[in-house]
Amino acid sequence: MKNPVLNKLVIFGVGLIGGSVALALKKAGNSPQIVGVGRTEESLKTALELGVIDIATSIIEDALQNADLVLIATPVAQMPAILKSIKPYLNSKTIITDAGSTKADVLYCAKEILGELSSQFIGGHPIAGAEKSGVTAAIANLYENKNIVLTPTADTSKQAIEMVTQLWQTCGAKVSIMSADTHDNIFAAVSHLPHLLAFALVDNIAARPNAEQLFSFAASGFRDFTRIAGSHPEMWRDISLANKDALLIELNAYETQLSSIKKMLQDGDGTSLQRLFERASVARNAWAQDKKSV
C-alpha cells in the first residue's frame, strides 16, 4: 500500500506548535497547501505575511474542502468546539489529529463528538516547545530529533496512523506510540508537575512584600528552575485541569518527598540529606548525558 498523500493541511491554531509544523513542511520541500484557521484575524494575517501558511480563513466549510489532514494545535479546552465545528464538513478521507499535552480527555472528546468518524482521529503530542508563544515564535527546526507521541486506539484507521506518522517524520521528529493513559501518567510526572512547581514558586516570590529585592538577587539557579513559568498560562491551565487525576497523584508523591526533606532539616540529618542529593545528582546527570548522546 502506498503512503497516504498529503496535498492539503488545515491547521487550527497557527501559533508556535502549528506554525512550526507548517515551516518544517515548507523547509522539507514538496509542502502541501497549508490553510490556517484561528481565533483572531490579526494572528492569521501575521502568519500569511511571514509565509507560514498559504491561505487564511474563518469559514470552516471552505477550509476543510478536499482537506487530507486537520491538525488541531490549540489549547486542549478548545478541542470540543473545534471538533463540533468541523464534523459536518469531514469526508471519509480526512484525517484529524491534535498536538495537545493530554490525551485521554482528547480521545474521549473525539469519540463522543465524531462518533463513527472518530476512527479517522489520532491523538498526538509533540514533546517540543518554548516559553514564547504565537506564530512569530515558530521555527522550522523545532521538531528535529524531538519525540512525538501518538495515541491510537483499537479503532484508529491504519491510514490515520500512517499519515500522521509521516507528517511528524517529515518535520524531523521521532515517533513513539503508546496508550493515552500511559502518556498522561508519564507526562504528569515529568512535565505537568514541573510546570506547576515553577509557576507556584514564582507566584509565591512575586506575592511577597520584598519581591523586588528577592528578584534582584535571583541568579542562574532561580532562572533555570523557573524558566518554564514563562509558558502560556491558558495552555497550562487547560493541561492541569485535563490531567488533574494523574497530576494530583504526582503532587501527593512530591508532598511526601518534601515532608521527608523537611524532617531531615528539622533533625539536622545531614547524612540522609546528602544521600538524597547524591541519588538525585547521579540520576539527573545520567539523564542529561543520555539526552546529549542521542
The DSSP code sequence of the chain is -PPPP--EEEEE-TTHHHHHHHHHHHHHSSPPEEEEE-S-HHHHHHHHHTTS-SEE-S-HHHHHTT-SEEEE-S-GGGHHHHHHHHGGG--TT-EEEE--S--HHHHHHHHHHHGGGGGGEEEEEE----S--SGGG--TTTTTT-EEEEE--TT--HHHHHHHHHHHHHTTPEEEE--HHHHHHHHIIIIIHHHHHHHHHHHHHHTSTTHHHHHHH--HHHHHHHGGGGS-HHHHHHHHHHTHHHHHHHHHHHHHHHHHHHHHHHHT-HHHHHHHHHHHHHHHHHHHHHHHH-
What distance in Å separates the CA atoms of residue 16 and residue 73, rounded to the nearest whole number? 9
What is the CATH classification number for the domain harbouring 257? 1.10.3660.10
The verdict on 190 and 74 lying in the same domain is no
Q: Does residue 2 lie within any of the structural domains?
A: no
Whether residue 113 has pLDDT greater than 50 = yes
Q: What integer is the mean pLDDT of 85-100?
A: 94
Return d(Cα 137, Cα 20) in angstroms, integer.
8
Maximum distance among all Cα pairs of the chain, rounded to whole angstroms: 68
pLDDT, tens digit, for every residue of 50-70?
999 999 998 999 999 999 999
Q: Which of 126, 161, 178 is the last residue of a domain?
A: 178
- In terms of Cβ atoms closer than 10 Å to its own Cβ (0-12, 13-18, 19+), residue 224 is exposed
**Domain edge (last residue) among 124, 158, 178:** 178
What digits encode the pLDDT tens for the residues 147-161?
Answer: 999 999 999 999 999
| Averaged pLDDT for residues 240-269 | 97
Task: Look at residues 178, 205, 220 and tell me which one is the last residue of a structural domain.
Answer: 178
Residue 139 domain boundaries? 8-178
Is the same domain home to 263 and 282? Answer: yes
Is residue 291 pLDDT above 90, yes or no? no
Q: What phi and psi values does residue 91 have, to the nearest 5 degrees? A: -115, 180
In this structure, are residues 123 and 180 in contact, taking their beta carbons and an 8 Å threshold? yes
CB-based contacts of 122: which residues, under 8 Å, 6+ apart?
95, 96, 97, 150, 151, 152, 156, 160, 161, 164
Does 110 lie in the same domain as 133?
yes
Average pLDDT for residues 20-29, to the nearest whole number?
94
pLDDT bracket for residue 99 (50, 70, 90): very high
pLDDT given at position 136: 87
Reported pTM:
0.87
Residue 32 pLDDT grade (very low, low, confident, very high; cuts 50, 70, 90): very high
Q: What is the pLDDT of residues 167-226, one digit of tens each?
A: 999 999 999 999 999 999 999 999 999 999 999 999 999 999 999 999 999 999 999 999
Q: What is the mean pLDDT of the chain?
A: 93
33, pLDDT greater than 60: yes
pLDDT at residue 130 is higher than 80 = no
Kindly tell me the burial class for residue 257, based on how many C-beta atoms sit within 10 Å of its own C-beta (0-12, 13-18, 19 or more).
Answer: exposed
Asked whether residue 1 is domain-assigned, the answer is no
Same domain, 85 and 215: no
**Higher-confidence residue: 133 or 13?**
13
In a domain, 99, yes or no: yes
Q: What is the per-residue pLDDT for 252?
A: 98
- pLDDT above 60: residue 72: yes
pLDDT > 60? residue 112: yes
Average pLDDT, integer, range 10-31: 93
- At residue 106, the pLDDT reads 95
The pLDDT score that the predictor gives to residue 2 is 57
**Residues 208-220: b if buried by 16+ CB within 10 A, e if exposed:** eeeeeeeeeeeee
pLDDT band, very low/low/confident/very high, at 131 (cuts 50, 70, 90): low
Lowest mean pLDDT among 4-18, 34-48, 155-169, 177-191: 34-48
What is the SS3 string spanning 148-200? EEEECCCCCCHHHHHHHHHHHHHCCCEEEECCHHHHHHHHHHHHHHHHHHHHH
Range from 108-112, 130-134, 273-277, 281-285 carrying the lowest mean pLDDT: 130-134
Q: Are residues 171 and 279 in the same domain?
A: no
Banded model confidence at residue 1, pLDDT cuts 50, 70, 90: very low
- Contacts of residue 209, defined as CB under 8 A and 6 or more positions apart, other chains included, come to none
CATH assignment at residue 166: 3.40.50.720
